Structure 1
Amino acid sequence: MAACDFDLLFTYVLTGWEGSAHDSRIFLDTIGNPSLNFPKPPPGKYYLVDKGYPEREGYLTPYHKIRYHQSEFRGAIPRGPREIFNRAHSSLRSCTERSFGILKARWKILRTMPKYSLQDQNRIVCACFALHNYIRLSKVPDPGFKIIDDDPTFIPPEVSMDVECGSTQEVQRVSTNEMTKVREEITTSLMRSRRRRRRSS
């Protein structure tokens, strides 16, 4: 499990789970285990998470069963408030896809990990994330990041951040009043902003 910021820097990485583990299981175990030191969002702040995660306070999911991915909106106008919210959510969360795209394009070992011990595999994964951040923070121009910086909509190929990362297990939907309210407030704000733009044009 990994978290990243809008500068394409990874802020948290957890390794060691088997590939068949569902995203929501890893997520719930991580945020519920103080020894893993996951940086929980402060009051009034939240992480953007995809539909593969359960809704919890501090973690903003998109509307479910509503058009979401940026590719679905190409050449199409969002229909209604929920699609407008989902498009904005997806646009912001694309930082995650872009970060993983650069990471996987640069470090080919992450695609086909040799049969090292589990401990060594975890170390390799963590080293790749650390080097990604080091390169991003360095002052030396980097061709991988240049492509991303030159085109804010570019997502490297061969990265799939699909809803449930290949798992067919259904996510348990537990709605929280707090995050439902946040989502509705943002949706209302986006609609107002859209109406103002239409009136001024």
Structure 2
Amino acid sequence: MPGKSQIADRIAARGASRAAAAAAVEAVLDEITTALAAGERVTLTGFGTFEATGRAARTGRNPRTGEALEVAATTVARFHPGATLRARVAAGSGESLGAVADLSTLQGLAAPEPVAAPEPAPVAAAKPKAKPSVASSSKASASAKAKVKAEAKKADVKKRADAAKKAEAKKRADAKKSAKKKSTAKDKKKSGKGHAKKK
């Protein structure tokens, strides 16, 4: 069961830096919490709606003693899943949606960039920059790996479904054969009895 830390790790695995992913998860959860505490309704299209609703005072029971208890009125958070979320959960599709942009570029989520030192000489400026290509290639390879993994998962699901269909078809065929054998055996038994009576 993933928690905040594991969700941040999964986002980082899709191409973002770990610190920026953790900060983004914290920021989203903090905004949702703040809005609910203020009595606002938070709607994330396709994902679902969070809302704060009032619960009236009621009489409850102590589970240990069975004694009646007065439960005060309170406000509780509720979540209603959206259509996209319901469809993905029903389909059992747990695969990742692919690479994400580097979240460290979002204002205020990552540590500020260090101030660049003045360029020393034209010789240093002529050197090719290796970092961006490495970062982009690592993002591309992470995206490619995720794609391959998703395709393998789809193939595995299809393979299992095909195997289940074949097993079901074989089971039906065996049942038909068994029923046919039984009916043939009954017919033979009846015809044998008829011959015996005639004699």
What band does the TM-score fall into relative to the shorter chain? under 0.3
**TM-score normalized by the length of structure 1:** 0.23
User: Which structure carries more strand by proportion?
Assistant: 2
Higher helix share: 2
- TM (norm. structure 2) is 0.24
> Which has the bigger relative contact order, CA under 8 A and spacing at least 6?
1
